[in-house]
Each structure stands twice: as structure tokens, then as C-alpha cells.
Amino acid sequence: MFNWSLYLYSLYAIGAFALFGWMLSLMTNKVSHVDGMWSLFFVLAGYSVALLNYEFTTRILVVLTLLSIWGVRLSVHISWRNFGHEDQRYVVIRQNNEPNFWFKSLYIVFGLQAVLAWIISLAIYGALDGETSFNALDYLGLILVAFGLYWEVVADWQLQQFKANPANANQVLSTGLWRYSRHPNYFGECCVWWGFYLFALAAGAWWAILSPILMTFLLLKVSGVSLLESTITERRPAYLDYIRNTNAFVPGLPKDAN
């Protein structure tokens, strides 16, 4: 049975962390650190639910371990990438919401992302609040989360190495995992969340399917593929050929190799 009180505790935890992030933005005059907070919202949601549960079952321990590895790794990666500068997306958001962006950012940036994270955390809640024993679906979830995490980490590392080479300025990465998908890191992220849903399904929380569906939609249509590719061809004309030959999301052989 869905426990609203337990689910709301995760909102309190996420909300408190979002408020801290907003207060930090008042001191730094930057808001892009919210990107580094994003994955930690889910970690907080998971632990707030788990700590109020009856006992630490095998599923709870496995989910919390995977969630911690995924969340902390992604937070460190994004925070390091954005360190010392404001992400251009937030520069535009700031310009479009002056005057008093310092206050508006509380709900436009931090509040919005906190609520989205809380809704998407349904899969985590469903997995941690279930009372069924560890079963075959849990093992499938474990495999899918581990695969997605591996795919995402490798893709991020390959992109970081590519950008670190000055000779690659304004060039297009089309080797490694990026040969098979234009956004392999987002594909890995998607696999992680469908894996967490399998844990929830194993616990009987079939209704948590909203979680991976919403995350997939965000990755494809909102903050992921669509947003990044809306202006990239203006900066990198060679990206047009990359689009013609390479799948956007799900990995596949390049079209010129078929």
C-alpha cells in the first residue's frame, strides 16, 4: 500500500537541500550548481525513505548502494565540469527573468528541479518500501543499472578526454561509444532509471513506471538531446553529418557502416 507519509518525508529532505542550494546561490551569484545537486536529490530521497523503513532488506541495501554510486559519481562529474563558471543555459534563464532573479530562482530553478526529482524518485520509493523478497526482477534491475552506469561513465570519460585535447576544438566526437549513439551518456542514464524501476516492480510497485517514463522524456525532449542539439550545428557544421549517420539515443551501427 502506498504510504504518503513516507513518500512526503523524501520531499522534505529534497526541499531542504534545494533551499540550501538556493541560499548558496545568493552568496555566489550563480545557480548552475543545481546541476551537481540533481542526482543528490535522489540519494537524499532514497535514504530518507530507507531510514524510516522497518528493516534493511537485501533489496534496500542493493538499491541504496547503486543509488549512492550513481548519484555521487554524477554529482562530482557535473560539479567538476561546471566549476568556476555559470552554465550558459542559466545565463539565458537569468537574463529572461530579471529583475529579482535572485528570488525567482528559488522556484524557477531550485524548486522546479526539486519537485521533478521527487516525482521521478517514485521508482526509488517503490523499491525501498516493498516487502517482497529479492527475486528475479531484482537481478534484472541490478544488471540493467550496472550496465547503464558503466555506459554512462565510459561515455562521460571519453567526452572529457576528447575535450581536453586542444586539437579537437569545434570538432565532433564520433569514436568509442559515441560512434554508436550521439548521446551514449543519456542512454546510460535512461538504462539506470529503467533498472531502478525493475527493482520497484519486483517489490510490487508497478505504478512507479511514471518515474522512468518521465526521466526518458526529460532526457529526450527537455534537458537532454533536444536542448543540446538545438544550436550545436551552428557551432559545429560537421555535426550535420554526424546526425545523418548516427543514432540519436539508442546505440546502433553508423549508417555509413551498414
Residues 6+ away with beta carbon under 8 Å from 86: 30, 31, 32, 94
Contact 220, 148 (CB under 8 A): no
Q: What are the CB-based long-range contacts (under 8 Å, 24+) for 228-231?
A: 228/183, 229/182
Among 153, 160, 144, residue whose Cα is nearest residue 196: 144
Cα–Cα dist 129/168, whole Å: 48
176-229: pLDDT as tens digits:
999 999 999 999 999 999 999 999 999 999 999 999 999 999 999 887 777 777
φ, ψ of residue 52 in degrees (nearest 5): -100, 5
What is the DSSP code (8-state) at residue 30? -
Asked if 249 and 225 count as a contact pair (C-beta separation under 8 A), the reply is yes
Q: Which pLDDT does position 231 carry in this prediction?
A: 73
User: Which residue from 233, 256, 258, 235 is spatially nearest to 244, judged by alpha carbons?
Assistant: 256
Quickly state the pLDDT bin for 62 (edges 50, 70, 90): very high
Rounded CA separation 42/122 (Å): 10
The single-letter code of the amino acid at 214 is L
SS3 176: helix
The stretch 103-129 carries a mean pLDDT of 95
- CA 164 to each of CA 160, 169, 172: distance values in angstroms, whole numbers, following the listed order: 6, 9, 13
- Tens digits of residue pLDDT in 219-257: 998 877 777 777 776 777 778 888 889 998 999 998 875
Q: What backbone phi and psi angles, to 5 degrees, belong to 58?
A: -60, -45
What is the CA 211 to chain-centroid distance, rounded? 12
Could you tell me the CA-to-CA distances from 8 to 56, 68, 94, 101 in Å, in that order?
20, 20, 30, 28
Element (H, E) at 220: none
Report yes or no: 63 and 124 within 8 Å, Cβ to Cβ: yes
Residue with cell string 529572461: 96
Instruction: Give domain limits for the chain.
Output: 1-131, 134-258
- Mean pLDDT of the region 148-173: 93
Three cell numbers, residue 51 = 531510514
- Look at residue 151 and tell me whether its pLDDT is greater than 60: yes
Q: How many Cα atoms are found within 13 Å in the side-chain-facing hemisphere of 45?
A: 30
pLDDT bucket at 135, cuts 50 / 70 / 90: very high
pTM of the full predicted structure?
A: 0.92
